[in-house]
Structure 1
Amino acid sequence: MATGHTDPRRRDRIIDATLDHIADEGVAGVSHRRIAARAGVPLGSMTYHFAGIDDLLKEAFTRFADEIVALFERHLGRADTSGQAREAVVDLVHTLSEGPPRGLVLAHELYTLAARRPEYRALTQTWMLRSRELLQRHFDADTARQVDALIEGLTLHRALDTEPQSRTLTLLAVTRITDPT
């Protein structure tokens, strides 16, 4: 492994290690020492690349939000009709809820942090606005806001329910919110 300034991926490895650590142990367990060990970098790299733990957490959660927005884009970007957009939302809910629990855990760690600490709310607000902008390609602004909240709620319920709802029921919920007739 390269050292010092010759390791162009060091910062990225630190951010990745931070997200992995949060998914495994929560935000409360984040420290420079733990993340450096997990990333396989010298402890001094932490303060070289990040002003402090808050800077590191904001960078890590920004990367996570970018990943979720990219997932929204992949699903919604294929839709040309309102029916296809509804199906894309159903696919998104099922993809998010049936995958590894990492994304669900990271999202809720961020929500908890934002609920406790106002400086993290800007990050969640930016994430929500970006998601809604993608949804607004297919639905009006008020509907996009409701669908965004529905995605969050259905994803959580499907992921944690011992008998998660079917695609048919998910489509029914999405249709009830998005179909003006």
Structure 2
Amino acid sequence: MSPDASARGSRSGRRNDPERRERIISAALDVIAEAGVAGASHRRIADHAGVPLGSMTYYFAGIDEVLREAFTRFAVEQSTRFEERMSAASDRRSAQDAVVALIADEVMHDQRELVLSHELYTLAAREPVYRALTADWMRRSRAALERHFDPETARILDALIEGLTIHRALDDQPRDRAEVQLAVARIVS
């Protein structure tokens, strides 16, 4: 390689784009949120990411790898946010309030995350690799809850959170905060 090529960043003389792979993963999540897994193609994701179509096969072996990477990022981000919220709780009461806030302020109001969650659940129902991903997500959620609640209560709270996401997606009657507070209070009492 010539010294000039080295200085420019690659063997072809073009600068590397170290964030391109991450942009593709972010774009994949956006496309899935807009068009579902069925609408997530190499071309659509590349267009959304603003990268050449060839970048898709340069960074990923195929669309399945793009989807796995995207859903892995999504699940880790969700788990981390949940863990942070539960870690901030200083006692059982503040933990109960944190669960209510998580449900009422995040699960019930973020359409993008709702769609992404359900797209992931659909894949997990059919594909073991996605089932393992969602199982890990649930383990992390329960572990965060178990900082403040016994394992059985943590498992029931986790099921409530997941169940309410389904109701939020399908029910035309919105849930209000008071109803969520009552449900969580009944479970933790």
Gaps of 5+ in 1: none
| Alignment partner of 1:32 is 2:62 | no
Q: Secondary structure in 2 aligned to 1:164?
A: coil
Q: Is the 8 A contact 1:76 1:88 kept in 2?
A: yes
Give the match for residue 74 of structure 1. Answer: 84
1:33 and 1:159 map into 2 onto residues whose CA distance is: 28
Instruction: Name the aligned partner's letter for residue 117 of structure 2.
Output: A
Q: Is the 8 A contact 1:147 1:177 kept in 2?
A: yes
Q: Secondary structure in 2 aligned to 1:42?
A: coil
Q: Which range is displaced more, 155-164 or 103-112?
A: 155-164
Q: Give the alignment of 1:141-160 within 5 angstroms.
A: 141-158=151-168, 160=170
| Alignment partner of 1:97 is 2:104 | no
Query: Residues 65, 116 of structure 1: CA spacing in aligned structure 2 closer, same or farther, 3 A cutoff?
Result: same
Larger Cα-atom Rg: 2
Gaps of 5+ in 2: 1-8
TM-score by length of 2: 0.86
Q: Which range is displaced more, 148-157 or 100-109?
A: 148-157
What is the aligned residue count? 178
Q: Which range is displaced more, 162-171 or 44-53?
A: 162-171
| Alignment partner of 1:134 is 2:144 | yes
Query: Residues 170, 138 of structure 1: CA spacing in aligned structure 2 closer, same or farther, 3 A cutoff?
Result: same
Instruction: Name the aligned partner's letter for residue 129 of structure 2.
Output: E
Q: Which range is displaced more, 138-147 or 149-158?
A: 149-158
Give the match for residue 3 of structure 2. Answer: none
Q: Is the 8 A contact 1:13 1:39 kept in 2?
A: yes
What CA RMSD, in Å, does the superposition of the two structures yield over aligned residues? 1.9
What is the percentage of aligned positions where both structures have the same residue?
A: 60
Q: Is the 8 A contact 1:32 1:46 kept in 2?
A: yes
Give the match for residue 98 of structure 2. Answer: 88
Q: Is the 8 A contact 1:61 1:110 kept in 2?
A: yes
Instruction: Name the aligned partner's letter for residue 165 of structure 1.
Output: R
The one-character-per-residue Cα deviations of 1:122-179 (angstroms, maximum 9, x if unpaired) are 1111111111111111111221111111011123324554442332221111121122
Work out which of the residue numbers 61, 74, 79 in structure 1 matches 2:71: 61
